Structure 1
Amino acid sequence: MAPAANIRPVHDNDRLITQLMAEETDVQRGYAMKLIQDDTLEFEEIPNDSESIEVSRKSYRIPVKDRETSLLITNDSTYPLIDISNEGVCIAIDATAPLSSADITPDCKIVLGEFHFDGLVGEVVHSSLNEEGNWICGIQWQHIDETTRSALDQALLHLRKEIFEDA
Structure 2
Amino acid sequence: MTLIAEAPPLGKQSSLPPVHTVTLTVNGTETQLQLAPWTSLLDALREYMDLTGTKKGCDHGQCGACTVLVNGKRINSCMTLAIMQEGNEITTIEGVGTDSPDGLHPLQKAFIDYDAFQCGYCTPGQICSAVGLLNEGHAKTTDDIRELMSGNICRCGAYTNIVVAIEEVMNQQSV
**Superposition TM-score tier, normalisation by shorter sequence:** under 0.3
Q: Say which structure is richer in helix.
A: 2
Higher strand share: 1
| Greater radius of gyration (CA) | 1
Which one has more relative contact order, counting CA pairs under 8 Å at least 6 apart? 2
